[in-house]
Structure 1
C-alpha cells in the first residue's frame, strides 16, 4: 500500500485546507515544531480509516470554538496495483465515498471494504479504540507508544495468523485441534489444569485417604486395647507385691531415726551457743580492762606533752613582748603619711572642680547658642506648617469623588463611541452652490452627520424629510448618555470645578501641600522631636544652669601653690592607705598573738599542774595494780572457753547435720510417694478394668476387617481412574508437543524477518515469539557471555527499539503474504542514544525499500542522513 496524497480541511488546527501530495513509495520525512500539526495528520489518517463517518464520538476532530465545522479527509493511495480514492466528512454533512479502479462505493459499504483490505474492524458504538485497529494499529505507531507492542500484536493476532496460513497452508491448519480438544475434555473430567484430581477421581482419592485414616485409627485402638491388657496384668502383680511388703513404712522408720539423731545434734548446738556467748562476754570484759589500762598510760604521756607545751608558750610570750615597740612605731608613721596624702587629694579635687566648672560653662554656652538657632528654625517651620495646613483645610478635595468623576467621564466617552457606532450615518455630497438644511443647520459640500434622534432635513424647493433612527439599542444608548451626562454635570457641580482636568490640578496641588506638610513635620521632628515648647523649656533650663555654675565658680577661693594632679594624689592616698592598713593589721595581729600566747601559757600551766596531781594520787596507783590482775585472769578464762567452743564445733561437724536434714526430707518424700503410688495403682486398676470391659463389647477387630474390605474396593477403583488420568495426560502432552512443533514451523517466517533486523542492532542475538506471535525472551551477547531476559525488562529506549523492529518484521511477513502495508511513525525513537539511533536508521532505510514509511518528527536534525528530502509542515501550511 502506497499513500500518494492527503488533504484535510476544518480538522483541528487546520481550519483552511492542507494538502500533502507526491508522497514517495519509500521513506517520507515530515517535520515541524511542537503544535505544528504532525499528530493531527496522523489522527486524520486514522479517522479516515477507523472512524465511521456517521459517528458522533469524533468531536476531537472539530477545530476549537467552531461548532459548525465539518472536518473532512481525502486520501489517494495505491494498493495491489489498483488506485483507491477515499473522501470522508464528519459531524456536518456526513459522507464517505470510495473509488476503486473506476468502481464507486459509499457509506458503510465503503468503510467495510477498507476494513477488509487493511485488516481492522469498527467499534460497535462510540469512538474507535486500539483494540479495533488490527494490522494498522500494529504498523501505525502513535507518539509515545512505540514501546507498547504486546497489546497491538494481540489485537492483530488473528490477521497475522491468517497471513501465515496463506503462506504455510496445512502446517497452520487446525485439523488436529479437535483431537486435542477431545483429549483435553476427557482429561478435564479427571484432572484440573494444574494436574490435580477432580470429580470422581478426586472424590475417590479423598475417600481412600479417609478410609485409610479410619483404618489406621482402628489399628491404633486395637493396639491400645492390647497394651491396656498388658498394663493391667503388670499393675496387678506390682500392687499385690507392694501390699505385702509395704515399703513406705520402712521409709518412715528411717525418717524417725534421722530425726532423733538430728535432735541430739541440736542439743550440742545449744550448748555451743551458750559457751560462745560466755566467750564473747569474756572478750568484751578483757577489752574494757585493756582500754582502762591504755587510758592510764595516755595520762602519763599527756603530762610529758603538757611540760613541752608549757615551755613553748613561755618562749612565744617573751618573743612577742620584744617585737611590740617596733610594730607600734611603724603604725604611727603610716598614720602621719596617710593624713598628709588625704590633704593633697582634697586640694587636687578643688583644683579639678574649678577646671570642670570652666568647661561646663563653656559647653553650656555653646548648647544655648545651638538651642537658640534650632528654636528660631523650629518657630519658622511651625509657622509655615500651620499656614500650609490652613490652605489644605480651606481647599479640600475628595479624591474618591475625583476618581468617581473620572470613571463617569470614561463611561460617558464609551457611550458616545457606542452611540456613534450604532447611530444612523447621513452622508451628503452636494454640488457647488447647493445647500441643505439639517435641523436649521446648513450643509454644503461633502461630509457625514450622525443622527441619534428624529431629525428634519429641509430640501430647498422640494420640502422636508424627517429621519427617525430606529432600534431599541439606539434609544437605550441615548437614555444612558443623558443619565451619564446629568451625573457628570452634578459631580462637577458638587466638586466646584469646571472639568476633571481642573479637579486633577487641584488634586496635584493638594498632594503637593500634603508633601510639604510631611516635609515640615519631618524637619520639626528632627529639630524639635518633642515640640517647640520643650525647646523653649530647655533654653530656660540651660540658662538657669549657667547662672548656677557661674555662682559656684565664684564661691571657690583661689587655691595657692602649683596645681596638683588628682590622679597622682589619689594614687599616693591609696598607697598611704594601704600602708596604714598593713600597719594597723600588723599591730592588731601582734596584739592578738600576744593575748593568745599569754592565755595559752596560763592554760598550759593549769593543765600541767592538774595532770601532775592526778598521777601522783595513791588511790590511782592502787587501781592500776588491780587492773593488771583482772586483765591476766580474764585472759586465762578466754583461752579455756575458746578451746571448749572449738572442740564442740568439731563434734557437730563430724555429725553432718545438713545431711541428716536431707535424709529426713528424702525419707519423708519417699514414704509419701510410695504410699501415693500404691493408691494411684489401685485407682488405675479399677479404671483399666472398666475401660477394657467397655471396649471389649465394641467388637474392634470386626470393625477393622469391615473397614479393610471397603478400603480395598476404593483403592482398586482409584487405581483404575489414576491410570486413565495418567494415560490422558501423557496423550495430551504428546499432542501438544506435536502442535508446538507445528507452531515453531508457523513462527519460522516471522522469526526469519525478526533476525534480519535484530542482527543489525545486536549481532548474533535472537528474539523469541510465543504462540500468539508476541515477542518474549531476548538472547544476546553480554559481558559475562550469553544473556537472556524478557523484553519488558529492558530500558524504555531499548523497548522502543525492539517494538519498531518487531513491527517491521510483521510488515515483511504481511507483505510476503500479499497483504497491504503502510508504516506510520509519529516522533519515534526519541529515547535512543546516538549509536543506537544510527543503527535504527540503517534498519529503517532497509525496511523503506519494501514498505512506504511516513516518519513525523520535531527533530529533523536527527534524520538528515536518511537520504530523503525532509518536508517542512510549516512551509506546507504557508504554501496552502
Structure 2
C-alpha cells in the first residue's frame, strides 16, 4: 500500500487547505517545529479511516473557535494495481466517498467502483483490518492493524494493547502461511479445549476443588461419615455413662454418711474470730499513721525556715565575692584609660594630617575645575537673563510658601515614634493602675489617717505605685510596699517612656503630641498649596520659567561663590599649608609643595579615618565598660551591706534559736510515734491478717463447694438413671449398621467422579501442550522477521514472543555472561526501539500474507542516544525498502543521514 496524496481543510490549525502530494513509496520525512501541525496530519489520517463520517464525537477536529467548520480529509493511495480515492467530511455537510480505479498499467478491464457512506467505510475497514465503533468516537480497541503500525507521539513503547487489538489479523496472516495448522492453533483448537474445559468445570473449580455433582456427592459422603462417627460416639458415651452411674451411687452414700461441710464451717468461724482481733489493731494503727502527716508537715516547715536563714548566709558570701570581682574589674579598666587616650590622640593627629593633604590636593584640582566651570556659567547666565521676565508673582508666593514649609516641617518618623511612645505610656499606666496596691478605707466621723503626704478621711480608695507610710494616730506607722518586681519593672518602663517622650518633644520642638499633630496637618496643607501653585506656575510657563529663574539665581550665586573660591584657592595655593604632619608617622608626611594625587590623598584620609573610628570606638567602649563597672561595684557594695545588716540583727538570732528548739522537739515526737507504730505493725504482721482472710474465704468456699458437690451428685444420679433408661430403647446399634451401608455406597460414587475429573485434567494438559508446540511453529515466521532487524541493533541477541505474539524477553551477552531481561524492565528508549523493530516485523509478516501496510511514526525515537539512533536509522531504511513510512519530526537535523529529503510543512502549497 502506498499513500500518494493527503489533503486537509478546516481541520484544527489548518483552516485553509493543506496538501501533501507526490509522497514517495519508501521513507517520507515530514518536518516542522512544535505546534506546526504534524500530529494534526496524523490525526487526519486516523480520522479518515477510523471515524464514522456521521459521528458527532469528532468536534476536536474543528479549528478552535469555529463551531461551524466542516473538517475534511482527502486521501489517494495505491493497492494491488488499484487507485483508491477517499474523500470524507465531518460534522457539517457530512459525507464519505470512495472511488476505486484500475491503474493504467493493470491488465484488467474492470470498470471503476464507487462507494458511499457506511458501505465505503466498511470496505476500508475490511481492506486495512480494523473495525468501527457502534457509536461515539473510535478507540484503540477498534484500530486493528493500523493501530499497530501507526504510532502516535510518545506511544512507541506501548505494544501489548496494540498487538492484542490486532491479534486476530496477525493469527490470520500466520495461518495463511501454515495452512490449517494455523487455524488449529488460533481458533479451531479452541473448540476442543472449550469442550474439555466445560466438562472439567462441571466437576472441578479453577483451583482444582470439587464442583457440581462431584461436590454434592462428596458432601453427602462426608455428612454420612460424620453421622457414623456420631453414632459411634453415642454408643461409647452410653457405655461410659453406665460406669459413671455406679460411681455416683457410691459417692452419694459417702456424702450422706460423713457430711464434710460441717467441719469446714467450724474452721471458718475460728479463723473469723482471729481476723476480728487483728482488724481492731489495724484501726488503732491507722489512727497513729494519720498523726504522722501533720507532724511531718510541721518538720518540713521548720526545715524550710532554717534553710531560708542558711540561704541568706550563702547569699551574703556570694555578694562579697561579687563586690570584690567588681572592684578588680574597675581597677583594671581604670588602668587602661591613659593608653587608650594616647592612642586616640595619635589617631586624631594622623587624621588631621591626612585631611590637610587631601584639602591641598583638592584645592589644586578645584582651581582647574573652577576656571572651566566659570567659563561655562558665563555662557549659561547670558542665555538665562533673556528668559526670566514672567511669572514673578507666583514665583514669589511659592518661595514664601516653601520658606514657611521649611519652618513648619516636622520629621514624620519622629512624629510616629512620639505617637507610639504616648500610646505605650498610656497602656503602661493602665497596667500600673491594674496591678497597683489598693488601699480602701472607711473611718469613723472625725477620724483621720495620713498616707504619705495624703490625709485620709471618711471613706475611699487610694492606689499605691510606690512605697508609702501610713500614720495611725496614737498607734504607730505602717510601711506599705506595693507590688513586686512587675510593678517596679513597670515603673522603670514608665520612667523610660516619659524620658523618651520628653526627648522626642524637644527634637520636634513641640510642647505635646497635639501641637505636633497640628504642625503635621499644617505641613500637609502647605504642601498641597505648594503643589497647586506649582501647577499654576507650570500653566503660566510651560517650559519651566520659574525653574529657570531659580537656576539663574543659583548660577549667579554659584558664579560669585566660585569666583571667590577661585581667588581664595589661588591664594591658598601660593601659601605653604600648616604643618599637620608632625605627629603623623614618617610614611604619612608629604611635602606641601609637591603635586598631590587627590585619589591617593583620599585613600590615605580614609585609612586615617578608619583608624580614628577604631580608636574612638575603643575609647567609647572603655567608657561604657568603666561606667558599668562603677555601677556594679556600687550596687554590689550596697547589697552586701544590706544582707550583712539583716544577718547581724538580734531578732534574727532569737528566731533562729526558737526554730532549732522547735525542730528538736518535733523530731523527738516523731521518733516516739514511729516506735509505737513499728511495734504494733510487728504484732499485726505476726498475725498475718491476709492469710486469716484467705482462711475464712477458703473454709467458707470449701464448705459451700463440698455441700454443692453433694447436691450436684445427687441430681446427676437421678438424671443419669432417667437418661440411660431412655437410651436403652433407641436401638443405637441398628442405626449404626444402616449408616455404614449408605456410607459405602456414596464412597463408590465419589470414587467414580474423582477418576473422571482426573482424566479430564490430564486430557486438558495434553491438549494445551500440543497447542503450545503448534503455536511455536506459528511464531517461527514472525521470529525470523524480528531477528532480521534485532541483529542490526543488538548483534547475537534474541527476542522471544509469547502466545499472543507479543515480545516478552530479550537475551543478550553482557559483562556477567548471558543476560535475560523482560521487555517491561528495560528503559523507555530501549522499549521504544524494540517496539519499532517488532512493528516492522509485523508489517513484513502482513505483507507476505497479502495485506496492505503503511507505517506512520510521529516523533519517534526521541529518547534514543546517538549510537542507538544510528542503528535504528539502518533498520528504518531497511524496512522502507518493503513498506511506505511517513516519519513526522521536529528535529530534522537528527535525520539528515536517513536517505530521504525532508519536507517542511510551512513550504507546502496551500490550496
| Aligned partners of 2:398 and 2:534 also within 8 Å | no
| Aligned partners of 1:83 and 1:101 also within 8 Å | yes
| Aligned partners of 1:822 and 1:853 also within 8 Å | yes
Q: Does 1:697 align with 2:709?
A: no
Q: Which residue of 1 aligns with 2:161?
A: 151
| Aligned partners of 1:49 and 1:114 also within 8 Å | yes
- Per-residue deviation, residues 17-57 of structure 1 (Å, max 9, x unmatched): 43323433322211101221212322332333334556565
Change (3 A) 1:148 1:655: closer
1:770 counterpart (779, 792, 802): 802
Q: Does 1:828 align with 2:860?
A: yes
**In 1, Cα distance between equivalents of 2:261 and 2:167:** 94
**In 1, Cα distance between equivalents of 2:689 and 2:804:** 95
Note the C-alpha offset of 1:90: 1.5
The answer to which of 122-131 and 707-716 deviates more is: 122-131
| Aligned partners of 2:398 and 2:530 also within 8 Å | no
Q: Secondary structure at the match of 1:865?
A: coil
Q: Does 1:381 align with 2:380?
A: no
Change (3 A) 1:58 1:661: closer
- Per-residue deviation, residues 285-308 of structure 1 (Å, max 9, x unmatched): xxxxxxxxxxxxxxxxxxxxxxxx
Q: Which residue of 1 aligns with 2:411?
A: none
| Aligned partners of 2:84 and 2:98 also within 8 Å | no
| Aligned partners of 2:402 and 2:530 also within 8 Å | no
Q: Which residue of 1 aligns with 2:781?
A: 749
Note the C-alpha offset of 1:839: 3.7
Note the C-alpha offset of 1:656: 12
1:202 counterpart (215, 229, 235): 215
Q: Does 1:163 align with 2:165?
A: no
**In 2, Cα distance between equivalents of 1:792 and 1:755:** 19
Q: Which residue of 1 aligns with 2:594?
A: none
| Aligned partners of 2:34 and 2:890 also within 8 Å | yes
Q: Secondary structure at the match of 2:856?
A: strand
Q: Which residue of 1 aligns with 2:836?
A: 804
Change (3 A) 1:232 1:33: same
Q: Secondary structure at the match of 1:86?
A: strand
- Per-residue deviation, residues 572-613 of structure 1 (Å, max 9, x unmatched): xxxxxx9xxx9xx9xxx9xxx9xx9xxxxxxxxxxxxxxxxx
Q: Secondary structure at the match of 2:112?
A: strand
Note the C-alpha offset of 1:76: 3.9
**In 2, Cα distance between equivalents of 1:824 and 1:256:** 107
Note the C-alpha offset of 1:734: 1.0
Q: Which residue of 1 aligns with 2:903?
A: 871
Structural RMSD (CA): 4.8
1:681 counterpart (713, 718, 723): 713
**In 1, Cα distance between equivalents of 2:716 and 2:127:** 95
Q: Secondary structure at the match of 1:866?
A: coil
- Per-residue deviation, residues 801-840 of structure 1 (Å, max 9, x unmatched): 3332221221121123232211100112223344443443
Q: Please list, as runs of the form range in 1=range in 2, the aligned pairs for 1:345-744 lying within 5 A after superposition.
A: 380-381=400-401, 513=533, 515=535, 673-744=705-776
Q: Which residue of 2 aligns with 1:212?
A: 225
| Aligned partners of 1:53 and 1:88 also within 8 Å | no
Q: Does 1:35 align with 2:43?
A: no
Change (3 A) 1:685 1:30: same
Note the C-alpha offset of 1:516: 5.6
| Aligned partners of 1:76 and 1:83 also within 8 Å | no
Note the C-alpha offset of 1:107: 2.3
**In 2, Cα distance between equivalents of 1:249 and 1:821:** 109
Q: Does 1:115 align with 2:147?
A: no
Q: Which residue of 2 aligns with 1:134?
A: 144
2:98 counterpart (96, 99, 102): 96
Q: Does 1:105 align with 2:109?
A: no
Change (3 A) 1:665 1:788: same
- Per-residue deviation, residues 122-162 of structure 1 (Å, max 9, x unmatched): 34445443333221121011223223322221221111111
Change (3 A) 1:160 1:510: farther
Note the C-alpha offset of 1:761: 4.4
| Aligned partners of 1:70 and 1:89 also within 8 Å | no
**In 2, Cα distance between equivalents of 1:675 and 1:518:** 126
Q: Which residue of 1 aligns with 2:384?
A: none
| Aligned partners of 1:99 and 1:105 also within 8 Å | yes
Structure 1: tracts of 5 or more residues without a match: 274-375, 386-508, 520-577, 597-645
Note the C-alpha offset of 1:852: 1.9
**In 2, Cα distance between equivalents of 1:657 and 1:61:** 99
Change (3 A) 1:775 1:223: farther
2:847 counterpart (803, 815, 831): 815
Q: Which residue of 2 aligns with 1:230?
A: 243
Note the C-alpha offset of 1:182: 2.6
Q: Does 1:20 align with 2:20?
A: yes
- Per-residue deviation, residues 497-551 of structure 1 (Å, max 9, x unmatched): xxxxxxxxxxxx99965746999xxxxxxxxxxxxxxxxxxxxxxxxxxxxxxxx
| Aligned partners of 1:821 and 1:852 also within 8 Å | yes
**In 2, Cα distance between equivalents of 1:671 and 1:657:** 21
**In 2, Cα distance between equivalents of 1:118 and 1:155:** 13
Q: Which residue of 2 aligns with 1:46?
A: 46
| Aligned partners of 1:53 and 1:96 also within 8 Å | no
| Aligned partners of 2:10 and 2:69 also within 8 Å | yes
| Aligned partners of 2:54 and 2:94 also within 8 Å | no
Change (3 A) 1:223 1:755: farther
2:201 counterpart (188, 192, 204): 188
The answer to which of 783-792 and 34-43 deviates more is: 783-792
**In 1, Cα distance between equivalents of 2:42 and 2:689:** 111
**In 2, Cα distance between equivalents of 1:71 and 1:660:** 105
Q: Secondary structure at the match of 1:190?
A: coil
**In 2, Cα distance between equivalents of 1:160 and 1:727:** 34
Note the C-alpha offset of 1:789: 5.9
**In 2, Cα distance between equivalents of 1:57 and 1:874:** 29
Q: Does 1:842 align with 2:874?
A: yes
Change (3 A) 1:44 1:233: same
Structure 2: tracts of 5 or more residues without a match: 105-110, 285-395, 406-528, 540-633, 651-678
Q: Secondary structure at the match of 1:819?
A: coil
Note the C-alpha offset of 1:65: 5.7
| Aligned partners of 2:82 and 2:100 also within 8 Å | no
**In 2, Cα distance between equivalents of 1:8 and 1:653:** 110
